[in-house]
Amino acid sequence: MSEARAIVLRAAGINCEQESRAACEKVGFRTDVLHVNRFFEKPVLLKEYQFLIVPGGFSYGDDLGAGKVLANELKMKLMPQLRDFVRAGKLVLGICNGFQILVKAGLLPDPLDSDSSLLTLANNDSGKYEDRWIRLKVSSTKSEFLKMEEVIELPVAHGEGKFLPRDSEVLRRWEQGGQLVLKYVGPEDREAGYPWNPNGSLSSVAGICDPTGRVLGLMPHPERFQDAVNHPQWTRRGSDIRPDGLKFFLNAREYVKRNL
């Protein structure tokens, strides 16, 4: 392959597309930001890319619920092409509102399974928008975006991020299959309640991948931590701060180099 290409979807209300683009370009992807309508008009465009990012924001104002309108558009107008994209071994990343979109469109927890009733992302238990930095444990390395079990830091910014599976059986199945790849943890690196778990997610889940490990959705924002100066303590800790968010994009680039 001569060139690794990433595509960042844009739609009304999305506001993290440029940060996502910058992170992709920083690790070596040739990256385009295109309005989703371009793909509805010409779905074959997806074949030109190896990495698809659905970024954060408030798509279509979240008027019918977070991510619901764009999710319905993807489901009705682009789902066969998105499933072919996954079958071809390519990568999909949904961040915050993008995670909500992937879930409501049926691309997570399994893009090749038509049952979209297994999971939702509900209103935060606090009843308010949560916007701060949190700690996360990489609890499984099944995802191609996460290659080491460790604790990382990322910012969150959402009002509907509570990970809510249909029942305990599906939660157990995802846990056993390694799909629950990110969990909120407290200062002792163990699962904890609010405020460490900012939304009340069951089992402290912050991110889930599909059974192949190539589709990942998470509520925290990796694209907002791609440089040491993004961290709120950078003036005290200096350049030794590790930009944890950039690793998601580095791992994506390494996967594309190896496989596509």
Positions marked catalytic: 96, 221, 223
The three-state secondary structure class of 247 is helix
Nearest to 217 by CA among 171, 181, 174: 181
Q: Residue 208 is encoded by which pair of tokens? A: 């889930």
Q: Domain residues for 219?
A: 5-259
Q: Residue 249 is encoded by which pair of tokens? A: 């994009």
Domain count, the chain: 1
Q: What is the pLDDT along the chain (260 residues), one digit of tens a residue?
A: 468 999 999 999 999 999 999 999 999 999 999 999 999 999 999 999 999 999 999 999 988 888 999 999 999 999 999 999 999 999 999 999 999 999 999 999 999 886 778 999 999 999 999 999 999 999 999 999 999 999 999 999 999 999 999 999 999 999 999 999 999 999 999 999 999 999 999 999 999 999 999 999 999 999 999 999 999 999 998 778 999 999 999 999 999 999 98
In whole angstroms, what is the distance from residue 180 CA to residue 209 CA?
A: 7
Residue 89 is predicted with a pLDDT of 97
What type of residue sits at position 44?
V
Paired with 158 in beta bridges are 130
In whole angstroms, what is the distance from residue 155 CA to residue 221 CA?
A: 6
Residue 114 is predicted with a pLDDT of 65
The CATH number of the domain where 43 resides is what? 3.40.50.880
In whole angstroms, what is the distance from residue 178 CA to residue 136 CA?
A: 16
